[in-house]
Structure 1
Amino acid sequence: MKTAELTDVLVIGSGFGGAIPAYHLAAGGAKVLILERGPQISSAGFEQDWKHGTWTRVLDLVKGDGMTALAGNCVGGGSVHYYAVSLRAPSFTFERGGGRMWPRSIRRATLDPWYERAEESLPVTLLDWKEVSYAGGLFAAACRNAGRTCQPVPVAVDTEACVNCGWMVGGCHFGAKRSMILNYLPAAQAHGAVLRPLCEVQRLSRAQTPGYRYRAHYGAEVVEAKVVIVAAGAMATPVLLRRSAFGLGGMPGAVGRYFSGNGDLLTVTQMDEGRIADVLGLEREPGIAYQAYPIGKSITTQSLDHTDPRKPEFTRFSIQQCYNTPLTNMLAEGPSWFGVGKKQARREWRSWLGTLAMYEDDNEGVFGLLPPTGAYLKLADGLGLSPLRYRRSANSERARSLVLAELRAILEKDGLGRVMPFTEDLIGEVTAHPLASARIGDDPATSACDEGHRLRGHEGLFVTDGSAVPGALCVNPSLTISALAERAVPYIVRQLRDDGVAVTYGAPAPGGATSGRRATLELAERVISGG
């Protein structure tokens, strides 16, 4: 039998949910090993093209039955390909389902100190109007024309280093996007954490070394740990856990259920250059009103008019101006997704305006029969087939219809453009924000983990990635995933101390800032002491 490597903490995945606890635990003195299934690429190694073998090194399109998700596949995980919009979730999202979807201990007010800690650590910057892309300005002008409001978004971007190239989804070549490879991961390694790329954990079982709980199997190697943190992403975490059910003696029923695509709805609008000039009075350069779809940061403005907490559930959503990559633009219906009309629309693609809406969906996704290995069946580089099945409920269907009606009210008013939703005939719905497939909660019947991200029935096993978020947020989820991961660290520290590991809590932000730490120290000590 192969001799197992031993570590205090094994972290599976290196995105937001893995890098954040890895840093804090390594800084506190624990022995930390991070295993990442994808390759390690520096900022200079990210290439600005859509050739096979470039973007496919960092990103997978994972097709399920009814939904396709974008999933990170490199060191840094989703933080490498996200658009860096960093928003706190509205207060009403924590009250969804009559207040029963989230743990009672987690509400917007109680999560705010952890949001602050994450914002300081990334860090996050609020764009001002002079930093907004022309497409973002066009969306703002259309909102104003329709009697709506619009404002710039906060982003985890170094705006001084950003060259506004728009190549965010394939990784930032200029090191301006504040992904995990520029903050938490190097800080964790500076404190002794070991990071191993190209190591995909296939299953977990019980450890055989006294004093250790879990054994992870990857390739021909095994490692045993006292504590395991699963942060492989919402498309992979439930598959890994369910495959491990036999070796661990069962798995909570909520693992692989209640999946949410965050209510993502991507569309493009074919804008009329003449009407932009006549109605909105815009002119980007002499004789050209717009033609700026791919220019600038990917998302720069948003409308939050439909995030009123007094409105009923499934009627609330946000809309952002969004550059949709060529990977998804082919899906736009103009009027169908193929044919002469679509060909004409694609000739004028520089006049498109992309949008991303996020509404309250109904957690309809369920993972079915597991693939023999990995998180999904690998069809080709950058393409996978997932056991996920997703069918919109009546609630989600109604929410989606409200979003489309609002988009048309803004962007088709006075003949400004024609909204072109994406076809679902080929790959179903599309989400860049998979969530909730091993979610936290108070009810064991509907949640896989408790309020401290501890997998039910499995002491020392934590889930800290997007799969732990209970449901759709109506905003981009990266900051909420980060805040929850920050909040989970004290629970993990308490477990390690109970296991006899001399670990401390209280490291500054990776860059050395300390104000966010001051806001959370008392909360953390209360958890660690069991108070």
Structure 2
Amino acid sequence: MIENQHFSRRRLLGMAALGAAALTGATTITTAPRAAAAEAQSGDGAFVPAVVIGTGYGAAVAALRLGEAGVETLMLEMGQQWDKPGADGNVFCGMLKPDERSSWFKSRTEAPLGSFLWLDLVNKDITPYAGVLDRVNFDQMSVYVGRGVGGGSLVNGGMAVQPKRSYFEEVLPQVDSAEMYDRYFPRANSVLRVNNIDKGWFEDTEWYKFARVSREQAGKAGLGTTFVPNVYDFDYMRREADGQVPKSGLATEVIYGNNHGKQSLDKTYLAAALGTGKVTIKTLHQVKTISRQRDGGYVLSVEEIDAYGKRVGRKEISCKYLFLGAGSLGSTELLLRARETGALPDLSSEVGAGWGPNGNIMTARANHIWNPTGAHQSSIPALGIDDWNNPDAPVFAEIAPMPAGLETWVSLYLAITKNPERGTFVYDKANDRANLRWTRDQNTPAVNAARSLFDRINKANTTMYRYDLFGSKLKNFADDFCYHPLGGCVLGKATDLYGRVSGYKNLYVTDGSLIPGSIGVNPFVTITALAERNVERIIKQDIAA
């Protein structure tokens, strides 16, 4: 991927600012000449022209483009910056030996694979800490989200997949698909530094034997597979395999962060945003409430904590332009609270509606003893089973690694299905939080679709499901958690067609809550590209005009 010289220089400046903040332990991240101004603009009662809540994909796009437009912008991130090594010399911990860095204020880790041979060998007791991965638990659904500068980009598998164009048009018919696929998807992929695995190396390396085994077995069932681009640097991975650089993707690192190789947002969009000289990031700052001033501006009540959860301050920050990029859960909860408490009473009744888990279902198969999947497995997926054109049960199934460091004979998958069911967030006044109305029965279409696919693979290979990986019960489909929360502030319903929140001027949503519950593939490239489209229009019409 080729960057223009100006953009590359900004990105390097931003990465230097991130590094400097990590060395000093500062919670303010900015380019050095503006440090004093940054502290002033984020103090109690301060005004800043634009505030972006969150540092995930949509938030990062908004900050970069606002900074390029010359707008002083403050980003508020509830997690911490992940750039300072711990006692072991690593920023992040691995999956096999998780510690406090793994989880957001939990006393025990909550990994998606909760057991092996029904034994609780996976999760560990830990000290509550502002760790990088959170599992937000609702009554009948849990949602994994990233916490820190970079949001979900810190903890996902990096699969940079564009949805089938026909399905994108079905989900978001009001958006010009030609414009998206010709302009905004390429722009997003370029800044995200998306790359492809070398197919020759893939075929030869021991680290992807697990994927080749699943490809062969899918082929016996008449199913095709496709290589999937990624934001993990595959050239770095090849050097890992050759022993030339420290291992990360080949060292069981992914859901609790990657120490090397991964082009997370702090190395791409956010670094470039900081490099504009107009963007400041404040970490461990959680926005609690939003209200409106008489002049039409917005006031944010913000709580500052330390890494162990102690409240160290509370402040109010006001702004003219407010961009919500706190994700499907965070942005929706902030708007619900504002509507139901009367702070922003004119918000649409559509706020909270249209939520879905992107049809996520996890499952695993047991292979024959003569068909091992490999003791050495890359933690970065590179291949998917593509049966999305199946008219009865569309499925795109990520061939997921299970890097246990020993042979397991397990083939693991994250299936993305076309589930029409939607949930709704409602405000729980007593607990001051958004609750999700979603039942396990609503996942039945997704489970049935996944079962249809993997029953065919099992039949063709005379194999069976694993029932021991998802808790203490006999369970072959994990349908009670998801990685891809979407919806809650749906485009064209809770907002206009560019993310402007209905009922309020200069208030915007710029994250996955705009997408109505499903996009058919890993969603972060779509979230990024949609944000590029929306923010370009907003800056042109609302800010630059």
TM-score by length of 1: 0.76
Paired position in structure 2 for 1:14: 55
Contact 1:139–1:301 (CA under 8 A) maintained in structure 2:
no
Aligned counterpart, 1:157: 232
Map 1:231-250 onto structure 2 (within 5 A). 231-245=325-339, 246-250=342-346
Q: Displacement, 1:389? A: 2.2
Instruction: Verify the 8 A CA contact 1:271 1:353 in the aligned structure 2.
Output: yes
Aligned to 1:295: 377
Take 1:205 and 1:457, find their aligned partners in 2: how far apart are those partners? 13
Q: Which residue of 1 aligns with 2:423?
A: 365
Pairing 1:391–2:475 present? no
Give the C-alpha shift of residue 103 in structure 1: 4.7
Residue 74 of structure 1 corresponds to: 148
State the one-letter code of the partner of 1:359: T
Runs of 5+ unmatched residues, structure 1: 277-288, 327-346, 377-385, 442-446, 498-502, 504-527
| Alpha-carbon distance, 1:150 to partner | 1.3
Distance 1:323 1:389, change over 3 A: farther
Q: How many angstroms apart in 1 are the aligned matches of 2:466 and 2:283?
A: 42
2:112 aligns with: none
1:452 alignment partner, SS class: coil
Over 3 Å counting, the alpha-carbon distance change for 1:126 and 1:160 in structure 2 is closer
CA distance in 1, matches of 2:79, 2:430: 19
**Are 1:213 and 2:297 an aligned pair?**
yes
- What residue number does 1:510 align with? none
What does the per-residue CA deviation read over 1:359-396, in whole Å, with 9 as the maximum and x for residues that have no partner? 1122421113336678x5xxxxxxxxx611212567x5
1:131 matched to 2:184: no
Alignment check: 8 A CA contact 2:488 2:514 kept: yes
Once the two structures are superposed, the pairs formed by residues 8-157 of structure 1 within 5 Å of their partners are: 8-42=49-83, 44-49=90-95, 50-56=97-103, 57-96=131-170, 101-107=171-177, 110-129=180-199, 130-131=201-202, 133-157=208-232
The verdict on how the C-alpha distance between 1:27 and 1:488 changes in structure 2, with shifts beyond 3 A counting, is same
Whole-Å separation in 2 of the counterparts to 1:463 and 1:232: 9
Q: Residues of 2 paired with 1:408 and 1:105: CA distance?
A: 36
Which of these residues, 388, 403, 406, is aligned with residue 306 of structure 1? 388
Contact 1:261 1:435 in 2 (8 A): yes
Q: 8 Å contact 1:411–1:419 — kept in the other structure?
A: no
1:108 & 1:139 partners in 2: Cα distance? Answer: 34
Per the alignment, do residues 429 and 83 of structure 1 end up closer, same or farther by CA in structure 2, a change over 3 Å counting?
A: same
User: What's the CA shift for 1:10?
Assistant: 0.4
CA distance in 2, matches of 1:227, 1:367: 25
Shift, 1:249, TM fit: 2.5
> Which residue does the alignment assign to 2:276?
191
Match of 1:432 in 2: 483
Q: Of the two structures, which has the highest relative contact order with CA contacts closer than 8 Å and spacing of 6 or more?
A: 1
Residue 509 of structure 1 is matched in structure 2 by none
Aligned counterpart in structure 2 of residue 255 of structure 1, from 328, 351, 357: 351
Q: Distance in 1 between matches of 2:220 and 2:233?
A: 32
Instruction: Sort the Cα spacing of 1:398 and 1:206 in 2 relative to 1 into closer, same or farther, 3 A.
Output: closer
Q: Does 1:407 align with 2:490?
A: no
Distance 1:47 1:25, change over 3 A: same
Q: 1:321 aligns with which of 371, 385, 399?
A: 399
SS at match of 1:200: strand
| Cα shift at 1:82 | 1.0
| Cα pair 1:166 1:298 within 8 Å, conserved | no
Determine the C-alpha separation between the residues in 1 that align with 2:502 and 2:488: 14
The answer to whether the 8 Å contact 1:270/1:349 transfers is no
1:166-185 Cα deviation digits (max 9, x unpaired): 411111101x1111111111
Residues 80 and 171 in structure 1, CA contact (< 8 A), matched pair in contact too: yes
Alpha-carbon spacing, 1:229–1:407, altered in 2? closer, same or farther (3 Å)? same
Specify the code of the residue in structure 2 equivalent to 1:53. E
| Identity across matched positions, percent | 24
Instruction: Report the CA distance between 1:106 and its aligned residue.
Output: 3.5
Segment of structure 1 superposing worse, 132-141 or 26-35? 132-141
- Tell me which amino acid in the other structure corresponds to 1:266: M
| Shift in Å, 1:477 | 0.3
CA distance in 1 between counterparts of 2:134 and 2:266 reads: 18
Cα 1:102/1:152, change in 2 over 3 Å? closer
The one-letter code matched in structure 1 to 2:326 is A
Q: CA deviation at 1:9?
A: 1.0
Change in Cα spacing, 1:471 to 1:3, as seen in structure 2 (3 Å) is closer
TM-score, normalised by the number of residues in structure 2 = 0.75
Shift of 1:65: 1.8
Q: Is the 8 A contact 1:268 1:353 kept in 2?
A: yes
| Native 8 Å contact 1:114 1:487 kept in 2 | yes
